[in-house]
Structure 1
Amino acid sequence: MYYTYVLYSKKDGNFYTGFTQDLKLRFEQHTKGQVESTKDRRPLELVYYEACLNRSDATHREKYLKTYHGKAYIKRRLKSYLTG
């Protein structure tokens, strides 16, 4: 399985989207500051993920979620989380 995931930065209020084969390990790497792109944006929360059967599906979803429409989709899905 591959996972497309979205992290929320409590520091800057923005999202980070990525994909991985080991979601638990990758989230630990993010929270420990071992990922260059998010180490200065901690603390982070895992707020969304999707499981995919293969890598190409996961990368396709990652690319979509990084677009304007993909970001709007995530905001709609997380509306109650974001507004409290």
Structure 2
Amino acid sequence: MFFVYIIESALDDSFYIGQTKNLTKRVEYHNEGLSKYTSKKKPWKLVYSEEFNTRTEAIQRERFLKNQKNRTFYKRLIQNWSGSSVG
């Protein structure tokens, strides 16, 4: 399984969208400061995720979400998410 996820920075409420095979470890990776892009805005909280059977599907969805560039769209998506937080 592959995941597309949105994490939110507790520092400035910014979002980061990514995809991974191991959601728990990826969120930990961001919070340990091991990702150059997200290291300055930690801590991060998982606020949304979707599960896919293939990496190709996950990448397509990640690209779609990143192309939205609309905070209202992301907030609505997150508000309707029924998942549980990781990390």
Q: TM-score normalised by the shorter chain: which range applies?
A: 0.7 to 0.9
Q: Describe the SS at the equivalent of 2:33.
A: coil
- Contact 1:64–1:70 (Cα < 8 Å) also in 2: no
**1:11–1:35: structure 2 CA closer, same or farther, 3 Å change rule?**
same
Aligned length: 80
TM-score by length of 2: 0.82
Q: Which has the larger displacement, 10-19 or 66-75?
A: 66-75
Gaps of at least 5 residues in structure 1 are none
**Residue pairs, 1:1-84, within 5 angstroms:** 1-68=1-68, 72-79=72-79
Alpha-carbon RMSD across the aligned residues, in angstroms, is 1.9
Gaps of at least 5 residues in structure 2 are 81-87
Runs of 4+ in 1 over 6 A off after TM superposition: none
Percent identical pairs in the alignment equals 34
TM-score by length of 1: 0.84
Instruction: Specify which structure has the higher proportion of helix.
Output: 1
Distance 1:42 1:53 in 2: 29
